């Protein structure tokens, strides 16, 4: 399965780069799966925010930095804590171009978020059916897009009980890609990702990515 060892086959579902981009500390992104799910499909910001919500600034850094790379992906994710309405943003980076997985029939991005001390704050995995403009939906019944998040863990393990996936019951994700010119794609995404225990979840209220292909 080449270098994408963090991804598992579907039957087995239910790991950089020192950032030149600043990273916000993540303050707990897991919430009870019994809470009402987020159904937002808009990238618009709410008026409620926290001091750790640097999404807009992070997106600007990605847009100014990633086009100068030879290849790789920069992404920023705004996580929403449903109970309090607070938001926390993280930057994730994969320093290599998306790789095709013949096992999954997807282009795979493996990105990490790092702190100022080079510690791993989290992992973001995105699989896409195509690397071209379009809308890609993911859910337990749709694999046009697949997404996984594991926060505050040094190692990524797709089978770990607390790893969240778009393929688990009650989960979904949506990625919209656009041509950004000069060999790049940019996109927006949202998701609700339930863990492998079906007990907790993370809400991706807003996500932005910029992919520099070979």
pTM of the model: 0.79
Per the model's pLDDT, the better-predicted residue between 182 and 98 turns out to be 98
Which residues, in sequence order, are bridge partners of residue 59? none
Measured between alpha carbons, how far is residue 204 from residues 5, 18, 63, 65, 68 in Å?
A: 24, 24, 20, 23, 27
Give the span between the Cα atoms of 107 and 97, in whole angstroms: 9
Give the span between the Cα atoms of 70 and 133, in whole angstroms: 20
Ordered by start, the domain boundaries in the chain are 31-40+47-212
Give the span between the Cα atoms of 48 and 28, in whole angstroms: 17
Phi first, then psi, for residue 65 (nearest 5°) are -105, -50
What's the average model confidence in pLDDT over 127-132?
Answer: 97
Per-residue pLDDT band for 113 (boundaries 50, 70, 90) equals very high
Strands (E), the chain: 31-32, 72-81, 86-94, 99-101, 106-114, 120-128, 134-139, 142-143, 145-151, 164-165, 172-181, 184-195, 200-212
pLDDT tens string 42-57: 332 222 233 477 899 9
pLDDT tens string 157-186: 999 999 999 999 999 999 999 999 988 999
């Amino acid at each position: 399965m080449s270098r994408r060892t963090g991804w598992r086959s579907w039957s087995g579902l239910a790991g950089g780069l020192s950032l030149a981009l600043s990273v916000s500390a993540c303050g707990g992104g897991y919430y009870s799966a019994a809470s009402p799910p987020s159904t937002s499909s808009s990238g618009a910001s709410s008026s409620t925010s926290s001091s750790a919500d640097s999404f807009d600034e992070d997106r600007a850094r990605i847009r100014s930095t990633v086009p100068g790379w030879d290849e790789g992906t920069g992404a920023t994710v705004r996580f929403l804590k449903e109970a309090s309405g607070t938001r926390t943003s993280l930057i994730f980076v994969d320093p290599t171009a998306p790789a095709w997985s013949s096992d999954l029939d997807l282009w795979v991005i493996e990105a990490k978020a790092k702190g100022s001390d080079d510690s791993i704050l989290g992992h973001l995995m995105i699989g896409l059916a195509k690397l071209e403009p379009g809308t890609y939906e993911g859910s337990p019944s749709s694999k046009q897009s697949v997404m996984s998040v594991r926060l505050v863990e040094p190692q990524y393990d797709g089978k770990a009980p607390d790893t969240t996936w778009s393929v688990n019951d009650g989960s979904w994700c949506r990625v919209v890609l656009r041509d950004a010119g000069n060999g790049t794609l940019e996109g927006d995404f949202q998701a609700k990702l339930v863990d492998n225990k079906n007990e907790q979840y993370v809400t991706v209220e807003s996500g932005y990515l910029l992919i520099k292909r070979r």
